[in-house]
Amino acid sequence: MKLYTFTAPTPAMALKKAQKACGEEALVVSTKQIRKKSLSDEGLYEVVVAVKKVTNTNNTQAKPIPKKPTFDDDILLNISKTAQQLAKLNTDPEQVTIAQNSLEQIAKEGKEDEFQALKSDIAQLTDKIKILQTMMWEEKSATREHLDIPPEFAEIYKIAKKSGMDEKHIKSILAETLNHMPVHMRQNSTTIKRYFQVLLKKLIPVRIEKEIPKGGQKIMMLVGPTGVGKTTTLAKLAARYALLSYRYKVGVITLDTYRIGAVEQLFQYAQMMKLPFEDVIDEEDFKRALDNLSYCDIILIDTVGSSQHDKEKIEKLASFLQNSHHEIHVNLVVSASAKYQDLQDAYDSFSFLNLDTLIFTKFDETSGFGNIFSLIYDTQKPVSYFSTGQEVPDDLKIASSDFLISCLFEGFNKKVEV
Ligand SMILES: Nc1nc2c(ncn2[C@@H]2O[C@H](COP(=O)(O)OP(=O)(O)OP(=O)(O)O)[C@@H](O)[C@H]2O)c(=O)[nH]1
Ligand SMILES: [Mg+2]
């Protein structure tokens, strides 16, 4: 940096002289009056300017300096300096143009590898910034400290927590992920997310729907809390087995004879689909109904909804099952919109019926699916069907871990086929 002094009768004239000699880049260091104007003499003003790398100059003949500072290519190989250049994006458009030009120049000069390495470094930096922003989100509470989550996992932790997944499950799965995830995959949040999704999918047991062999028979009973959608799901299953995906002979039994409305509801569905229908009051009736439908490939049994505290009703169901002398697959139907604790309570109450699978309803009425994940993960019971709305027979999906995890990460979308 060198200083040059210019004098003229007015400050404006002195400045003009300085600019002419040193260029637009010259910085004005000081301006002062060195001689007052009088009747006989003009006034005299002095302007001192500072310029970079100017050689061979004197007061009035400073050589103009180049308008743009030159850029050393080596600088671009240093990621921190590059980051500094990019950081000027908002404040110094001229510098950014130079940085971009230099990047392009590297590419043009055939330094393709360096160029790509640099681009990837910048992408990593951007990702780290994203991760840090996530970390600064309200989650710096005691919970996170307690879990000791590395910054790269913050986004995944946030998604899992928001989904309603149980805290202890999040903790153990994250610990597993940390233990087994290849180091190179940890470097950005996209690969971490993908890895985590694949891991969660593998943790969900699914009961594959098998064809019923010729001459065989399958009997399915739906049990669960009140109003979760047992009867509606049973009607959807009946349509699936009898009309849509298979041409099975389907029979329907209801044990829900306490309420006239309940019998009527299922009877209507059975009639529409022209399916044989039996309503049952006691255990003898039940055996008779099963015998009457012995020619069916599949028998679907609807039951009365029981609150988890209604032990008497659940025990009665157990007695029906024990004394039927048939192999009956019991499926627990629960609502996806219930809290994890309620799902657990329902499971605990019905589990002594020796449950075969879990069916989740009301996917369309919730935004978090971590509660479902946690119930499946905790109980290790396979999941068989998802009900995704009120429409019979359309709103039924065969359970798949892909669909559940896509709901957990992206929210429910009826149209997603997985
Ligand atoms: N939004 C939505 N509503 C559903 C779904 N499945 C069932 N329903 C509705 O939930 C309500 C109760 O459904 P039911 O099939 O009668 O439920 P249930 O478990 O048989 O009820 P109880 O026999 O009284 O214990 C009805 O209004 C259904 O239309 C679903 O997947 N999504
Ligand atoms: Mg019902």
- Nearest protein Cα to ligand 1, atom 17: 229
Q: Which residues line ligand 1 (CB under 6 A)?
A: 226-232, 256, 262, 305, 361-362, 364-365, 387-390, 395
pLDDT-derived band at 109, boundaries 50, 70, 90:
low
Which of 108-117, 257-266, 277-286 is the most confident on average? 277-286
CA 49/CA 46 separation, integer angstroms: 10
pLDDT-derived band at 66, boundaries 50, 70, 90:
very low
Mutate to test the pocket of ligand 1, among 232, 269, 332 (most ligand atoms within 8 A of CB): 232
Taking the C-alpha atoms of 77, 78, 79 and 83 in order, what is their torsion angle to the nearest 10 degrees? -110
Q: What's the CA-to-centroid distance between 122 and ligand 2, angstroms?
A: 58
Higher pLDDT, 133 or 381: 381
pLDDT-derived band at 342, boundaries 50, 70, 90:
very high
With CA atoms as reference, report the closest residue to 345 among 163, 319, 255, 335. Answer: 335
Q: What's the CA-to-centroid distance between 229 and ligand 1, angstroms?
A: 3
How far the first Cα of the chain sits from its last, in Å, is 67
Is residue 340 a contact partner of residue 360, using CB atoms and an 8 Å limit? no
Mutate to test the pocket of ligand 1, among 390, 391, 396 (most ligand atoms within 8 A of CB): 390
Beta bridge partners of 253: 278, 301
CA distances from 72 to 76, 82, 106 (A): 8, 12, 11
Q: What's the CA-to-centroid distance between 227 and ligand 1, angstroms?
A: 5
pTM equals: 0.70
**Per-residue buried b or exposed e for 341-359, using 16+ beta carbons within 10 Å of the residue's own CB:** ebbbbbbebbeebebbbbb
Q: Which amino acid, one-letter code, is at 75?
A: I
pLDDT for the residue 75: 30
Q: Judging by beta carbons within 10 Å of its beta carbon (0-12, 13-18, 19+), is residue 326 exposed, middle or buried?
A: middle
Higher pLDDT, 93 or 131: 131
Looking at 322-389, which runs of residues are DSSP E strands?
329-335, 355-361, 383-387
The two structure tokens encoding residue 47: 């302007």
Helix (H) or strand (E) holding 130: helix 112-136
pLDDT for the residue 78: 33
Taking the C-alpha atoms of 176, 180, 183 and 184 in order, what is their torsion angle to the nearest 10 degrees? -100
Q: What's the CA-to-centroid distance between 353 and ligand 1, angstroms?
A: 22
Does the pLDDT value for residue 63 go beyond 70? no
- Nearest protein Cα to ligand 1, atom 6: 229
* Closest ligand 1 atom, residue 363 Cα: 31
Mean pLDDT of the 363-373 span: 94
Instruction: Provide the 10 A C-beta neighbour count for residue 415.
Output: 4
Query: In terms of DSSP bridges, do strands 44-51 and 27-35 run parallel, antiparallel, or are they unpaired?
Result: antiparallel
Helices (H) and strands (E) in the chain, counts: 15, 11
Q: What's the CA-to-centroid distance between 306 and ligand 1, angstroms?
A: 14
CA distances from 2 to 21, 22, 344 (A): 13, 11, 78
pLDDT for the residue 366: 93
Which of 79-83, 201-205, 293-297 is the most confident on average? 293-297
Q: Quickly list DSSP for 376-391.
A: HHHH---EEEEE-SS-
